[in-house]
Each structure stands twice: as structure tokens, then as C-alpha cells.
Amino acid sequence: MSSTSAVQTFADDIDARPIAASYSDSVEQPLHCQQAGKVSCGNCRLSKICLPLELQAPDIDRLNAIIQRGRPLQKGEFVYRAGQPFASVYAVRSGTLKAFSIGENGEEQVTGFYLPGEIFGLDGLCKSSYASSAVALETAAICEIPFERLSELSALIPSLQRTFFQVMSKEIADDQQLLMMLSKNTAEQRVAALLLSISTRNARRRLSSTSFRLPMSRTEIGNYLGLTVETVSRVFSRFQKSKVIAAEQRNVELLQPDRLRQVASGG
């Protein structure tokens, strides 16, 4: 999973432009990159988010060499499905994905949303098959990092190994954070926390932290937060009535972010 504050790691490019433009549904050219040519870790705007380590140029190249970049995913396309053999972890380059698993009763449970610069697929490692499925919520570009290769490289580059341990540890800490939220917080606190989480993650990518488009439906939000659609909708309405946010469909503006923080932490 990855919740209030998301995992941040390997990835490569795109997506660092004013909010209005980011509503676009297609993968755009990395106009802002030094060379508007080939995508690589070396020239990726997200690399500071994605790689919280200081690698030397040759090491970056070695990492870059093992990363595979396919064609963009269409909305609804799967990256992997639960049960498939585990082979790679993934970094989001643009777009948004969700991970979810199916409970014994057949119910879907959303376990995380992944924004550009974030890593997913980490849960597959322990059983050598993915525990959840990952699907694109909108057109998305991702970097595939074959795990075996990453493992080998990690053994050679200590700081990479350490970084990867940190990435996994962060996922654990985030899950525990979310856990705490689901078991103790009210509907308003949960929704506030999610909005703030998206806000923070946008800020990291130099996007507006107060005005953005939610990449997921109300139903998906509810599922993720352990609430029904109706409750989510009502909370949105209440937040609007009290002028804490403005929202029209999936577009949201945080009018009083600090008030929202107050709500999130039980004010």
C-alpha cells in the first residue's frame, strides 16, 4: 500500500507542469527535459523523488540500463494480476495506478494509489507471486525494473541496496500509518487525510498542492478508506458547505488546507 505519504522511488520522467496541463489524459513529451529526446533516469525530473540517493553518473547509467519502458498503458489496463509470478517492481512515470486485492468473500479492497515518482509491486516478492493486482486509472507510463537484475545491482552498489531497503521500509511505515487511520479515525478524518496526501504528493512533483484533479472515483476512494460511496460523497458535501474545499466532480480545491489538517488530526 502506500497511503498518507506515499512510497517515493525509482521512476523517470515527465509530469512536472502546472496543474491545468496535468489534467491531460495522454503521455506528453517531456518538453521540460534537458534533452527532449530519450527518457532516462539521468534526465528525469522525477529522479530526485524517485531515487532518494546520490548515485554517481556511471551507477545511474547501470541502473538505467536495466529499466524497461514499454508503451503507455490505457485506462483499465493491468500491469499485473494477483497470483502472477513476481518478476518486477514498477515506477510510475505519468498517470495514476491503483493496487487492489480480492478478499475471500470476493470483495475488492483497494490497497493503494500510485502517482508519478512512486514505486509499486513490492508485495509480490515474498511469495514470488503478486499478492494484488495493479491497474491504470488513466493513461499511464511506467518503468519496469526486473527484480533479479535490481538485486544483482544492489549487491554491487551499497547505496542502491540501502535505498531499496528504505523504499520497502517506507511502504511498511505507510501501511501502519494507514492502519492506524482506518481503525481509529472518523469518515471526515479519513477523507481529509486522503486529500492532504494527494496534496503533499503533488507538491513533491512541483504541482499545485491546493488545486488538483483526483485520479480516482468516489467509489474507489471509499473502498480505499473503508467507507461507502455515500459517506464519501456526504463528507465532500459537508467540506464544501463549510468552505474547507471546493469541488466539482473530480476537481478539488483546498480552500483551507490548515483547517483540513486540523480535521485530519482529530480537531
Instruction: Find which of a second copy, DNA, none residue 263 binds, CB within 5 to 8 Å per kind.
Output: none
**Which cell numbers in the block locate residue 127?**
511469495
> What count of other Cβ atoms lies within 10 Å of the Cβ of residue 210?
15
Of 170, 201, 205, 218, the one binding a second copy (CB under 8 A) is 170
Nearer Cβ to DNA (87/187)? 187
Q: Using CB under 7 A, which of the segments 140-148, 154-162, 166-174, 185-193 binds DNA? A: 185-193
C-alpha cell at 221: 476512494
- Give the neighbor-by-neighbor strand order of the sheet with 133-136: 78-80, 133-136, 97-102, 108-114
Nearer to DNA, 43 or 240 (CB): 240
Residue 141 CA: distances (Å) to CA of 39, 73, 94, 249? 11, 6, 5, 24
How open is the CA angle 161-9-124, to the nearest 5 degrees? Answer: 75
Cβ neighbour number for residue 12 with a 10 Å cutoff: 29
Residue 115 or 225: which CB sits closer to a second copy?
Answer: 225
Picked from DNA, a second copy, none, the partner binding residue 218 (CB below 5 to 8 A depending on kind) is DNA
Site string for a second copy, 215-254 (x = CB under 8 A): ----------xx----------------------------
Q: Which of positions 205-244 make contact with DNA (CB under 7 A)?
A: 217-219, 226-234, 236-237
Q: Which residues in 21-60 contact a second copy (CB under 8 A)?
A: none
Other CB atoms closer than 10 Å to residue 202's CB: what's the count? 20
If contact means CB under 5 to 8 A according to the sort of partner, which of a second copy, DNA, none does residue 53 touch? none
Size of the site for a second copy (CB under 8 A): 46
Number of residues lying near DNA (CB under 7 A)? 20
Contact 132, 101 (CB under 8 A): yes
Identified binder of a second copy from the candidate list 66, 125, 187, 247, rule CB under 8 A: 125
Q: Rule CB under 8 A: which of 184-213 touch a second copy?
A: 184
The strand ranges marked E within 41-199 are: 68-69, 78-80, 88-94, 97-102, 108-114, 119-120, 133-136, 141-146
Q: Which does 77 bind (CB under 5 to 8 A by kind): DNA, a second copy, none?
A: none
Pair 141, 14: CB distance under 8 Å: yes
Give the distance from CA 89 to its chain's centroid. 13
What span, in angstroms and rounded, lies between the C-alpha atoms of 105 and 149? 37
Q: Which residues are near DNA by CB under 7 A?
A: 186-188, 217-219, 226-234, 236-237, 247, 249-250
Q: Which residues are near a second copy by CB under 8 A?
A: 1, 101, 103-105, 107, 109, 111, 122-127, 131-132, 151-152, 154-156, 158, 161-162, 164-173, 175-176, 178-180, 182-184, 225-226, 265-266
